Chains A and B, each alone.
Chain A
Amino acid sequence: MNNLLTTEHLDREVLEELLDESDGFAEVLTRPIPKVPALRGKTVATMFFEPSTRTRMSFEKAAKALSADTVTFSPGTSALSKGESLKDTALTIRAMGVDLMVVRHKATGVAWRLAEWLDIPIVNGGDGAHQHPTQALLDCLTIRQHFGSLDGLKIAIVGDIKHSRVARSDIFAMTTLGAQVVLVGPPTLLPIDPEVWPISVAHSIDEVLDDIDVVYLLRVQTERGGGSVFPSESEYTRRFGMTSDRFARLRPEAIVMHPGPMNRGVEIGYDVADDDRALILQQVSNGVATRMAVLFRLLGGDHDA
């Protein structure tokens, strides 16, 4: 593994190894000094061309917990606003002595281009509506910690699948690890041909409610046009929201997840988000451990083939 761009072609063995390592790094984060010197002297650049709170901070925290240095690129205050191209920006930052880049961009495939241009590992921190592999890893870790394994679990991904890189990454990782995934959403928020994926589709959340182990809620992505395809927020909530009523109908061992940022009262009920069976903050904590595993895998010593 020389880059982490997508979950699509990660085989089960690699996924399981990354999750095992993530569990190990999760233990590091519970120590009195939650830090190891494994990546001392390495520099990780976070290049986020799109807004982000948790992913960028999570990568920075992960890098620092491995004793790597971090440098941050913000498009607003950069020479990009003076007309510098993406490639020149990337080459410039590489030339400063950066050992790995995490990149987020609104355009699909940017991480692949960087991987071609640069001779250092690239981690895709989200490209458009395409992929967000570390999110999928932390989601799978959270589920595995709760159930022990993903094998045979039924997972419903609910909402704006069409604009969701999280869904695209989760689908591959979860099914590779043995889960059955059902996508739930209005036809307008599903991709045009979901049959190409190893999943099933339902158009009503109530259809699947009493049969699933994990409800994975997505935010309606108004910035990508997700808000214009249904009449109103309350209509969305009525048909697809995880309200307290629906939450009460879930199997007692079922859990609720959300990649954040969440809109309480829209896709998730106010109280549901705070329930013990909503693992949303555990997902965030796991994000740091997972990203440590990814950074260490790509930067820690001898690269495997």
Chain B
Amino acid sequence: MLPSQSDVSRRVRSRRRPACRTWINRMLSGVVIGIMTSAIASAAPVSDHLDLAQYRGQVVIVDFWASWCKPCRESIPWLNELRARYAAHGLVVIGVNVDAERSDAEEFLREVPIDFEVVFDPQGELAKRFDLQGMPTSLVFDRAGNLVETRLGFRQAMKAKHEASLKNLLNNTGH
């Protein structure tokens, strides 16, 4: 599917940016992923495209996960917790599932419920666009829509540090 021009929003700042930040440009110009539309057995809203422009002004965590990813069984409950704690302060969490088989993802969700929005990416197009270096990967965007952090892997030992940096981003209401 072609990027939707109507999703183009505010222009990014003109000063020179590191390569990773051009990804948000692509996102802002609209990455539309054609996905299956069947409903899943989960309370979380299902989406068939990822459009971050609508979350401008909020802090967004995009987490790539899969049913076969062992650390995801721990990272997802933690993201559920963060969302419960900080949604009112402007946190949005979006999960991107990269399972090739939708049924594998559904089985995982029966064991590990997800309280945030899930986007399905079975062909790995989103994963490719963000050039994921490993699984799981969490992308953190600040209120201005800039990609500020790419977290590779999940470790219990890093939870406190990640939460602290998240609070910082949430406190930063200006740009």
Say whether A associates with B.
no
- Enumerate chain A interface residues (CB-CB to B < 8 A): none
